[in-house]
């Protein structure tokens, strides 16, 4: 049952009235507290709580956008570094200039191609959303991982092909 919290006019203490009650007694000084329409007061309290919740949601959205922007920045830097490492590894291996360094770079790139999306997925700033009485995380981390592999694998293949073309052109 919903209650309305009123202030005692005599001592200032809180007096709780049920939604349908119009008269209450202060538990501290015994003064009577009257309310003409307790239902309107309950509605007003509900509206005030909803406004507070929406303000908090708005603040959480802004904080989430900042975390997401920062995550994207670092994801681009990390994946870009892996692509450069992949290009150099395949290029150096294909030109016989430094097969050992190229092979190590290539192996590191392949290792990072598997590991980087897992670490980025773990660091992805998910939101917790209330759906009914359950809290769910959006998006699911598995969906983020699949998207990351879907981005990184084609770029790595492109990097390998570019390194091969450049190595053959340089000769």
Per-residue pLDDT, averaged over 60-74, amounts to 85
Q: Are residues 81 and 162 in the same domain?
A: yes
Q: Which of 100, 83, 91 is nearest to 167 (CA)?
A: 91
- For 102-161, how does the pLDDT look when each residue is reduced to its tens digit (9 = 90+)? 778 878 888 888 888 888 888 888 776 656 656 666 777 788 888 888 888 888 888 888
Q: Are residues 23 and 91 in the same domain?
A: no
In the chain, the DSSP E strands lie at 3-7, 14-18, 23-25, 32-34, 127-131, 134-138
Ramachandran angles phi, psi of 22, nearest 5°: -120, -15
Residue 42: pLDDT band with limits 50, 70, 90: low
Q: Are residues 127 and 74 in the same domain?
A: yes
Q: Are residues 99 and 165 in the same domain?
A: yes
The reported pLDDT for the residue numbered 69 is: 92
- For 3-39, how does the pLDDT look when each residue is reduced to its tens digit (9 = 90+)? 777 778 788 888 887 767 777 888 888 888 776 544 5
Q: 15 is in which domain, residue-wise?
A: 3-36
* 45, part of any domain: no
Q: Are residues 16 and 99 in the same domain?
A: no
The reported pLDDT for the residue numbered 50 is: 73
Q: Are residues 92 and 161 in the same domain?
A: yes
Q: Are residues 101 and 19 in the same domain?
A: no
Residue 97: pLDDT band with limits 50, 70, 90: low
Q: Are residues 70 and 121 in the same domain?
A: yes
Q: Are residues 136 and 67 in the same domain?
A: yes
Q: How far apart are CA 146 and CA 47, in angstroms?
A: 41
Q: Are residues 23 and 79 in the same domain?
A: no
How many independent structural domains does the chain possess?
2
Q: How far apart are CA 92 and CA 84, in angstroms?
A: 12
* 87, part of any domain: yes
The reported pLDDT for the residue numbered 70 is: 93
Q: Are residues 69 and 26 in the same domain?
A: no
Q: Is the pLDDT of residue 77 over 70?
A: yes
The reported pLDDT for the residue numbered 99 is: 73
Q: Are residues 81 and 10 in the same domain?
A: no
């Amino acid at each position: 049952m919903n209650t309305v919290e009123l202030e005692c006019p005599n001592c200032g203490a809180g007096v709780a009235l049920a939604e349908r009650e119009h008269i209450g007694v202060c538990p501290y000084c015994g003064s009577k507290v009257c309310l003409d329409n307790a239902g309107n007061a309950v509605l007003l309290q509900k509206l005030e709580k909803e406004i507070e919740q929406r303000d908090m949601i708005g603040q959480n959205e802004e904080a989430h956008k900042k975390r997401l922007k920062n995550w994207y920045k670092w994801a681009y830097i990390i994946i870009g570094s892996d692509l450069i490492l992949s290009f150099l590894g395949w290029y150096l291996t294909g030109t016989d200039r430094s097969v050992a360094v190229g092979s190590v770079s290539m192996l590191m790139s392949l290792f990072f191609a598997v590991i980087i999306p897992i670490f980025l997925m773990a660091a992805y700033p998910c939101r917790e959303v209330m759906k009914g009485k359950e809290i769910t995380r959006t998006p699911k981390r598995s969906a983020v991982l699949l998207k990351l592999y879907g981005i990184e694998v084609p770029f790595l293949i492109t990097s390998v092909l570019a390194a091969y073309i450049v190595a053959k052109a340089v000769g």
